Chain A
């Protein structure tokens, strides 16, 4: 079965510090990988996807097929980055997303 693992349930950093949220996935073909974010009292929304190789709100994520990882990084955390972050992968057919358990990021002033 496809699995997505986020080893940290909670990550607490100070404003301005670098952030890395870890995500590992079980190997299976060519995965489509995503990071979704949920801010307080808001709905779950897409942050970025690996295929776009983009930077959103200063966040980047690189797919490392050798380590089967898709870690989310930001060089300087901001207080408004505090949220729940979910790593997810899509199977090859359809829109079924397999989510990791999520990491709560707290950025302290």
Chain B
């Protein structure tokens, strides 16, 4: 079956702009989580959605937001982009939430802010 799909794969934006990233989870998976990966900070959790509800939120400013649709697809939005937002953004999906459920990761969206 198809894996987690993230679009677009690459983005270049200017400071102050806003951006929307998309994630399609594996069919049947209801949980979608987002992570930011940078050389300095490593992998950091942004938020998790399960059945269209945000379940957990990481320590990121309010400029970072997300949502999940009824088909489990998820989007994350970053407003008023800053140079420091340049990163690889990873999406992960899981069948359920909690416990030892495996997270399946997408290839990521590489965002560059200039």
Please say whether chains A and B are actual partners in one complex.
Answer: yes
Contact, CB under 8 Å: B94 / A95 = yes
Whether B61 is near chain A, meaning CB under 8 Å from some CB there, is no
A45 to chain B, nearest CB (A): 7
Residues of A near B107 (CB, < 8 A) are 43
A101 to B41: give the CA distance in the assembly, Å: 8
How many A-B contacts if CB must be within 8 Å? 69
Most buried by A among B33, B100, B102: B100
Whether A64 is near chain B, meaning CB under 8 Å from some CB there, is no
Q: A94-B55, A97-B45, A98-B45 are in contact. Are A43 and B105 (CB under 8 A)?
A: yes
Whether B74 is near chain A, meaning CB under 8 Å from some CB there, is no
A99 to B94: give the CA distance in the assembly, Å: 17
- Report the interface size class on chain A: 20 to 34
Give chain B's interface secondary structure class: strand
Whether A51 is near chain B, meaning CB under 8 Å from some CB there, is yes
Q: A52-B100, A102-B42 are in contact. Are A97 and B3 (CB under 8 A)?
A: no
User: Which chain A residue lies CB-closest to B47?
Assistant: A96
Whether B50 is near chain A, meaning CB under 8 Å from some CB there, is yes
A50 to chain B, nearest CB (A): 8
Whether B58 is near chain A, meaning CB under 8 Å from some CB there, is yes
Contact, CB under 8 Å: B105 / A95 = no
Contact, CB under 8 Å: B98 / A93 = yes
A13 to chain B, nearest CB (A): 23
Contact, CB under 8 Å: B98 / A99 = no
Choice from A45, A91, A95, A101 contacting B31 with Cβ under 8 Å: A95
| Known contacts A46-B102, A93-B55; 12 further A-B pairs (Cβ under 8 A) | A46-B104, A49-B100, A49-B102, A91-B56, A93-B98, A94-B56, A95-B33, A95-B55, A95-B92, A97-B45, A98-B45, A99-B42
Interface residues of A (CB under 8 A from B): 32, 34, 43-46, 49, 51-52, 86, 90-102
